[in-house]
Amino acid sequence: MNAPESPRVSLFVTCLADLMRPSVAFASIRLLEQAGCVVDVPLQQTCCGQPGYNSGEYEATIPLAKKTIELFEHAEYVVAPSGSCAGMICHHYPKLLDGQWRERALALAEKTFELTSFLVDVVKLESAPAITTSLPTVTYHDSCAGLREMGVKEQPRKLLKNLCDVDVSEMQQSDVCCGFGGTFCAKMPDISEKMVDDKLRNASSTGATLLTGGDLGCLLNIAGRARRQGLDLEVRHVAELLSGDLYSPAIGEGE
Amino acid sequence: MEQHSQQFKENAANALADAGGVAQRDILALFTPIMRDAAVAEFGPYEALRQHVKRVRQHSLDNLDYYLARFELEATNNGNQVHYADSADEMNSIVLDICQQHGARKVAKGKSMVTEETGLNDYLQRGGLQVMETDLGEYIVQQAGETPSHIVGPALHKTRDQIRELFLDKHDLGERELESISDLVGEARVVLRDHFLQAEVGIIGSNALIAENGYSMLVTNEGNGDLCANLPNVLIICTTLDRVLPRAEDATAIQRLLVRSATGQPHTCYTSFYSGPRRAEDADGPLETHIILLDNHRTDILASDYSDMLRCIRCGSCLNHCPIFAATGGHAYGWVYPGPMGSVLTPLLTSLEASAALPNACTSCGRCAEVCPSAIPLPDMLRDLRHEQSVEKITPASWRQGLRLHAWLACRPGLYQFLTGIGIAVMHRIGRKKGGFRSLPLAGGWTSKRDFPSPQGKTFMQQYRQRSRSNEQ
């Protein structure tokens, strides 16, 4: 049983985990529970609104931002397995809204975290049940919003070391965008292709056969390109690795 | 300058098809950030200086009327003639008038992006003048009949071999090897020297205008700016009115940030301050000096939501750190200013319609804002420009409607979860074996270059509700 002072976390699932890869959200719940948190999942959640917002559809995004605030503002903590969705809530909702709503957005921002930074910086998860599967050589892609908006850099590496005994094989330019950029990759496919190919080349140069990261958008892009190129590179979300979920097919792999 | 920003995607595709150019840009994209980072790390209180300069630039812009008047007064007292130009044409015609008054035939020019913006060279040449660029990169670009691809390194897109071929072709100097970089630089120096000595008018730009003493600061690496400024009898400084700063120490504060951000040097080889025409006790210098302050929409920008952009000090760091700039090179942007700063400035200085692709040439990765010495929120501004494009219906209707529909649906959790549940089930059923889709309706942009990974199965919400129900039983 959890002690009464257990941190209470509301999970912001993110639409990509909800639709494309539920195992990321289940892994997040397991990790948060291992860290002693009580986790709830507000059932009315959908999407943080990044697709429209980043394309300049501000007016359409405002009602969605308000819905999300209403749904999560009573939480003690809000945690998302995505730096960009957490960044949307923390940095962009306050820009999008005025007056009272801006105040409410700022209050929500105060208690919203990206998963790995929450586990390391807030609840200080140091260890977890030993993961018996030995991992192949792993490289890490620093997703832009997590890195620059949420300060996620050392936290996932520290967790991989402490929980999985993995030292990340660092790739060159790990902090350079993979070319996803939401609708960017569909609007400018040629440029996006060059960027994701650079990412794959840098990842492969490390000798890694597994690439991980904290944002599904980037991982879907990288995995999709790796499959198209026929590369032997598994792509998995870091929450899956940390919770020992290595058995389900990697992103883009068949059953 | 003629604008080709509308063809950004085609320009980018052509740039990406040029393997040599790609390799050249890859090297620059790898090393220029390393050099900048090292210089910033060595400097120490970089962030404090950055915030200071941001405040100084903001203060100067907030009080532009006051500091411009002060600058004009001090510069005039120093013997300069100060002109204001509203438009590109006005600046060009002021310059041509001055040249004609002096019966000039030859002009020696230092690097100036402002005169690229106004198309000054073409204008003067049409007026019968011979104009020679004297910055080595700019000279190379001029000889090649091209435009700068980078605001700091105009010829960074050119390889040594290309420059060698160009010089062998353009310089009538007989048989020679020109193998080394120093051979190339030496030859350019010889060719340019005659021109410096013959030019009646010198034209340079300015990195800062100092209100308290009326001086103009110029930061260069080659010293050509000083030769342009001191050898001809007439000097014309072409710059924009947003360059003004209160004090000399503000200009040197900017110099410290500018150089480290631009080239990773602690100093360039030359930082020059021009006070005005030659005085009785001076050994050399121009007999007459003019300073032209161009507006060309700067005051419109100052009054707009994009006024932060005027803090830009033209270091080019955002270009060096932008993965899209690295992929496409500067020419793809189709006008004077490329990269993140160019994607903001170009729509503001030309039109949103003519620059429609540029605000979209961004993944919001934030690397540009992170390294910007003036802390300009470039990705936010590009997003705001996309918002304006949507409001003005420049964005294709299918994109606008699709994204609005998505947001509308996401506000209705019941309907959203019902529809996504069906869609995901269908996709999973078709894609589960192969793990992904090689093509997918409505996702052609994505699947043209990559597989669309298959969803895992039921949505999280479906599975979670199911588990909660079975736990309750």
Would you say residue B49 lies in a domain? yes
- B19 and B55 fall within a common domain: no
Residue A244 has pLDDT above 60, yes or no: yes
Residue B473 has pLDDT above 90, yes or no: no
For chain B, the straight-line distance linking the first and the last C-alpha, in angstroms and rounded, comes to 73
Is the torsion defined by CA of B410, B413, B414, B417 positive or negative? positive
Would you say residue B117 lies in a domain? yes
Share of chain B above pLDDT 90, in %: 95
Å from A37 to nearest chain B CA?
Answer: 18
For chain A, the straight-line distance linking the first and the last C-alpha, in angstroms and rounded, comes to 36
Would you say residue B304 lies in a domain? no
B377 reaches A (C-beta below 8 A): no
- B432 and B346 fall within a common domain: no
What are the pLDDT digits (tens) for A86-139? Answer: 999 999 999 999 999 999 999 999 999 999 999 999 999 988 776 667 789 999
Inter-chain touch A254–B450, beta carbons under 8 Å: no
| A57-71, A122-136, B157-171, B304-318: the lowest-pLDDT one | A122-136
Which residue shows structure tokens 């600061």? B217
Residue B381 has pLDDT above 80, yes or no: yes
- Are A104 and A217 in contact, with CB atoms under 8 Å apart? no
What pLDDT score does B1 carry?
Answer: 78
Which residue shows structure tokens 């993995």? A166
Mean pLDDT of A192-218: 97
Q: Say if residue B462 is exposed, middle or buried (CB neighbours under 10 Å; 0-12, 13-18, 19+).
A: middle
Domain total of chain B: 3
- B27 and B68 fall within a common domain: no
Q: What torsion, rounded to 10 degrees, do the Cα atoms B313, B315, B316, B321 define?
A: -110
| A1-10, A75-84, B463-472: the lowest-pLDDT one | A1-10
Residue A3 has pLDDT above 60, yes or no: no
What pLDDT score does B217 carry?
Answer: 98
Written as six digits, the tokens of B447 are: 């699947």
What are the pLDDT digits (tens) for A218-227? Answer: 999 999 999 9
Residue B89 has pLDDT above 80, yes or no: yes
Give contacts of B458 with chain A, Cβ < 8 Å. 22
Would you say residue B4 lies in a domain? yes
Mutate to test the interface with A, among B18, B404, B411 (most CBs of A within 10 A): B411
Inter-chain touch A227–B459, beta carbons under 8 Å: no
- Can you list the positions of beta strands (E) in B37-125? 81-85, 106-109
- B33 and B172 fall within a common domain: no
* Nearest residue in B to A52, CA atom: B403
What are the pLDDT digits (tens) for B113-159? Answer: 999 999 999 999 999 999 999 999 999 999 999 999 999 999 999 99
Inter-chain touch B360–A190, beta carbons under 8 Å: no
Structural domain harbouring B364: 1-42+316-410
- Cβ within 8 Å of residue B124, ≥6 positions away: B92, B95, B96, B99, B107, B131
- B281 and B368 fall within a common domain: no
- B377 and B468 fall within a common domain: no
Q: Say if residue B345 is exposed, middle or buried (CB neighbours under 10 Å; 0-12, 13-18, 19+).
A: buried
Inter-chain touch A252–B454, beta carbons under 8 Å: yes
What are the pLDDT digits (tens) for A6-54? Answer: 999 999 999 999 999 999 999 999 999 999 999 999 999 999 999 999 9
- B124 and B232 fall within a common domain: yes
- B200 and B101 fall within a common domain: yes
What pLDDT score does B472 carry?
Answer: 76
Q: Which of A49, A195, A225 sits opposite B327 (nearest CB)?
A: A195
Would you say residue B307 lies in a domain? no
Spatial distance between the Cα atoms of B200 and B101, rounded to a whole number of angstroms? 11
Last residue of a domain, one of B267, B299, B331: B299
Quickly list DSSP for B213-248.
Answer: TTEEEEEESSSHHHHHHHSSSEEEEEEEGGGEES-H
What pLDDT score does A132 carry?
Answer: 65
Å from A236 to nearest chain B CA?
Answer: 12
Last residue of a domain, one of B395, B410, B425: B410
Mean pLDDT of B349-360: 97
Å from A169 to nearest chain B CA?
Answer: 19
What are the pLDDT digits (tens) for B192-222? Answer: 999 999 999 999 999 999 999 999 999 999 9
Inter-chain touch A52–B403, beta carbons under 8 Å: yes
Total count of residues recorded for chain B: 473
- Are A143 and A218 in contact, with CB atoms under 8 Å apart? yes
Give contacts of A200 with chain B, Cβ < 8 Å. none
Average pLDDT, chain A: 95
List b or e across A118-155, with b for residues whose CB sees 16 or more CB atoms inside 10 angstroms: bbbebbebeebeebeeebeebbbbbbbbbbbbbebbeb
Mutate to test the interface with A, among B28, B362, B363 (most CBs of A within 10 A): B363
Interface list for B 418-447 with A (CB within 8 A): 420, 424, 432-436, 438, 443-446
Beginning with the edge strand found earlier in the chain, give each strand of the sheet holding B106-109 in spatial order.
B81-85, B288-294, B234-240, B201-204, B106-109, B130-133
- B38 and B50 fall within a common domain: no
What are the pLDDT digits (tens) for A42-64? Answer: 999 999 999 999 999 999 999 99
Mean pLDDT of B29-33: 97
Residue A2 has pLDDT above 60, yes or no: no
Give contacts of A191 with chain B, Cβ < 8 Å. 12, 16, 324, 327-328, 361
- Are B202 and B277 in contact, with CB atoms under 8 Å apart? no
Interface list for B 341-360 with A (CB within 8 A): 360
Å from A153 to nearest chain B CA?
Answer: 15
In order of B35, B64, B74, B156, the CA distances from B71 in angstroms are 35, 10, 5, 35
What pLDDT score does B197 carry?
Answer: 94
Inter-chain touch B363–A180, beta carbons under 8 Å: yes
Which CATH number do you get for residue B161? 3.40.50.10420
Average pLDDT, chain B: 96
Would you say residue B397 lies in a domain? yes
Mean pLDDT of B76-90: 98
Count contacts between A and B (CB, < 8 Å): 217
- B406 and B416 fall within a common domain: no
Inter-chain touch B449–A193, beta carbons under 8 Å: yes
* Nearest residue in A to B385, CA atom: A56
Inter-chain touch A13–B410, beta carbons under 8 Å: no
* Nearest residue in A to B449, CA atom: A193
Inter-chain touch B363–A21, beta carbons under 8 Å: no
Quickly list DSSP for A12-66.
Answer: ---HHHHHT-HHHHHHHHHHHHHTT-EEE--TT----SHHHHHTT-HHHHHHHHH
Instruction: Label the pairing between strands B215-220 and B208-210.
Output: antiparallel
What are the pLDDT digits (tens) for B327-354? Answer: 999 999 999 999 999 999 999 999 999 9
Would you say residue B308 lies in a domain? no
Inter-chain touch B383–A175, beta carbons under 8 Å: no
Spatial distance between the Cα atoms of B347 and B11, rounded to a whole number of angstroms? 18
- B127 and B141 fall within a common domain: yes
* Nearest residue in A to B34, CA atom: A173
| pTM assigned to the model | 0.96
Å from B26 to nearest chain A CA?
Answer: 9
Spatial distance between the Cα atoms of B332 and A190, rounded to a whole number of angstroms? 13
What are the pLDDT digits (tens) for B241-283? Answer: 999 999 999 999 999 999 999 999 999 999 999 999 999 999 9
Spatial distance between the Cα atoms of B262 and B255, rounded to a whole number of angstroms? 10
B168 reaches A (C-beta below 8 A): no
Spatial distance between the Cα atoms of B56 and B50, rounded to a whole number of angstroms? 10
Last residue of a domain, one of B391, B410, B429: B410
- B423 and B276 fall within a common domain: no
Tell me the HSE value of B126 on the side-chain side, using a 13 A CA sphere: 8
Is the ipTM, as predicted for this complex, more than 0.90? Answer: yes
B387 reaches A (C-beta below 8 A): yes
Would you say residue B241 lies in a domain? yes
